Amino acid sequence: MKILDNHILKEFLASFFFCLSTLLFIFLIVRGLMQMADLVINKDVSFILILKLLFTSLPFMLTFIIPVSVLLSALLAFGKLSHDNEINAVRAGGVGLLKPLTPIFVWIFALCLVTLILSDQISSASHYAYRRTLTQIGIESPSAALEEGTFIKKFKNFIIFIYEIDGNKLKGIRIYQPQEGKPVRTIVAQKGELISIPERNIVKLKLIHGTSDEPDPKDPSKLYKLSFKTYDLPLSLPNIQGSTEEELGKKPKDMSIRELRAEIQRLGKAGILATYPLSAEIHNKLAMSFSSLAFLLIGVPLGITTRRSDKAFNFGIGLALITVYWVLLIGGKAIAQKGLAPPFLCLEFSNLVLGSVGFWLFRKMVKN
């Protein structure tokens, strides 16, 4: 019996590490090398910063890649075992399927705990480090923080739209500065140039040939158009030197569960009770960490039922299930963030749906 348990576990783990390494390789090629090539060649960003950016993004991506690898490996491993009639041989020998699968469920539960630590501690810290690195890139190579044809909101107090970007040279620039209780200030320029000043933690935007809205000296609530040949506009960036938590600001994804709960308590004491986004992030971390169990429950019976060793076919089934899961998870998170339903129910709904269907298929398979 131990030989059988080890054989099935070995088949599953071989498929798991194959899927994990394949997905990581795709991630590194698609996101890593392509991003590195663009930033190094076109944006003149330091190669060290690019490696740091790639390294700090890995833990966050692993929280998604691990559950997906569990699902795909269950489909591949048990599809192969069923196709090779090994499952039928086990049944013919009078051995139930539940006992040989126990080591896999124990292993996956341990993996869920590891994923929880990864999501709660490592991924949160690395995601914050990733944002700090992006800010540092924005200071050392300002053009890397810009993208033509889109509204850029990375600089404090300004929304920027640029039609063309060629290195640090810009063409067709529109800058908007929302002002509370006053008209939106607009600056338009034909051309411009980005000048980085790292020691002051600012980027200077030198505008050429344009117009600027300026406060009317007689009535500051009104603006008038001022034409200019050159106009220097300082764009402030968060300070990334030393302790930056207060200056850069942590988003919910950057916080551990303990930090999220502490923030909820702090806001509650201040009379702010609508902390739904923070609660949603806590349950999102928990849901993602234990999604491997739901994927295993549905992946094993589907793999055995389909009886296919074809990787492309199993990857297709996996992709369909992952799409359903992600739609339910994202939809649930959106509802939870608005406070329309309990965060636990919203975020665990995807696990409950796939897990319940998997449990039903599993029971049906075991009875047969």
DSSP letters, 86-116, are HHHHHHHTT--SHHHHHHHHHHHHHHHHHHH
**CA-CA distance, 44 to 34, in Å (whole number)?**
14
**CA-CA distance, 216 to 221, in Å (whole number)?**
7
Q: From 146, 184, 142, 182, select the one nearest 162 (Cα to Cα).
A: 146
Residue 258 included in any domain: no
Residue 251 included in any domain: no
For 340, the 3-state DSSP assignment is coil
How many domains does the structure of the chain reveal?
2
Confidence (pLDDT) at 154? 73
Confidence (pLDDT) at 200? 65
Confidence (pLDDT) at 246? 45
Show which of 180, 215, 236 is a domain's final residue.
236
**Residue 30 half-sphere exposure toward CB, CA atoms < 13 A:** 7
Residue 261 included in any domain: no
Tell me the CA distances in angstroms from 186 to 29, 162, 163, one per residue in order.
Answer: 41, 13, 16
| Helix or strand (DSSP H, E) at 83 | helix 47-83
Confidence (pLDDT) at 241? 47
CB under 8 A, 24+ apart: contacts of 198-202? 198/139, 198/140, 201/139, 201/236, 201/237, 201/238, 201/239, 201/240, 201/241, 202/234, 202/235, 202/236, 202/237
Residue 250 included in any domain: no
**161 and 303 assigned to the same domain:** no
Q: From 97, 65, 93, select the one nearest 78 (Cα to Cα).
A: 97
Confidence (pLDDT) at 242? 45
**114 and 184 assigned to the same domain:** no
**133 and 13 assigned to the same domain:** yes
Domain that holds residue 128: 2-139+266-367
**305 and 342 assigned to the same domain:** yes
Residue ranges of the chain with per-residue pLDDT less than 50: 240-246
Residue 176 included in any domain: yes
Q: Is 243 exposed, middle or buried (0-12, 13-18, 19+ CB in 10 A)?
A: exposed
**10 and 110 assigned to the same domain:** yes
**CA-CA distance, 207 to 58, in Å (whole number)?**
38
Q: From 163, 156, 155, select the one nearest 138 (Cα to Cα).
A: 155
